[in-house]
Amino acid sequence: MTIAELYEKLADKSFQDPGTGNLFWPTYMYLYKPENEYAIRKEIDTIKVRLKRPDNYIDVLIINIFEELIEYLKLQHFGDSNLLEELLQIETEEPETVNGLVSTKAGEERFFEWLNSKVTDHLELPNPNNEKKSYVFVTGFGQIFPYLRASKFISNFEKYTTGKFKVVVFYPGRVDQTCHLFDKLNDDNPYRAIKLINNPYEDSRNI
Helix (H, G, I), strand (E, B) or coil at 78: strand
Query: With 80 as the cut, is the pLDDT of residue 102 above it?
Result: yes
pLDDT tens for 44-91 read: 999 999 999 999 999 999 999 999 999 999 998 877 889 999 999 999
Mean pLDDT of 133-138: 96
> What is the total count of domains within the chain?
1
CA–CA dist 113, 75 (Å, integer): 14
- Binned at pLDDT 50, 70 and 90, residue 42 comes out as very high
Mean of per-residue pLDDT scores for the chain: 85
| CA atoms 195, 200, 202, 207: torsion sign | positive
pLDDT tens for 9-26 read: 999 998 888 877 655 568
- Helices and strands (H and E) in the chain: how many: 8, 9
Determine, yes or no, domain membership for 168. yes
Domain residues for 15? 3-202
Determine, yes or no, domain membership for 207. no
